[in-house]
Every structure is written in C-alpha cells, then in structure tokens.
Amino acid sequence: MTPKRAWSFISNEQDADVAIDKLFDYVDDLLLKGEFTEVDAFLQIVDVEELSKELAVAVLSITFTAKEKLEAREELYYRIKKELQSYFDSAEIDSLLKGLH
C-alpha cells in the first residue's frame, strides 16, 4: 500500500480507535521491515489539520523509537504542535506531547 493510500485509509476512518489501530499496523509493519523511506513519505503527507489529538499523539508515539532514522518526523512534530496551539493552551500541549519529541 502506498503512503498516500494508507493515509487516506486511516484518515477516512470514523472510529478513532480503529484509525489508531490501522496507523499502528501500517507504520509498525514498515518500521519492522526497515522501510524508513516509506515511513518518511507517509509522515510528509499526514494532514495535521485532519488529525484528532489522539491520532496526533499516536503517530508521534509509533515513530518515536525510530525518530533518528526518520527525517520527516521532526517536521511533523512541529506541524502537530502548531496545529494543537489552535485548540489548547501551552500546558495542555506540553502534557499531550510529553516525551514525544
């Protein structure tokens, strides 16, 4: 599955828990295979405006252990943080993102 198709598949899911499960399945499979370029491609197309706070935390959580190998992850972290500023104060954002940078 291409990163673009995977994102569409995940982002169109109405149930947040199912979306998170799909995200973990897709990304974890790629990480276990060492396909970091594919994960980077996926991270680059994630639309942070469509992310629920739960899915935002999930995408950062699943990619945390490979963050040194994922060039797009740091930019995604900052895009997510910026988007969250529209909805939460800085203390809430720090709490949501604690340990994920």
Q: In whole angstroms, give the CA distance from residue 82 to residue 78.
A: 6
In total, how many domains does the chain have?
1
**Residue 90 belongs to what domain range?**
3-97
pTM of the model: 0.91
Enter the tokens of residue 88. 């939460």
pLDDT tens readout for residues 10-64:
988 999 999 999 999 999 999 999 999 999 999 999 999 988 889 999 999 999 9
**How open is the CA angle 65-87-99, to the nearest 5 degrees?**
20
Q: In whole angstroms, give the CA distance from residue 54 to residue 57.
A: 5
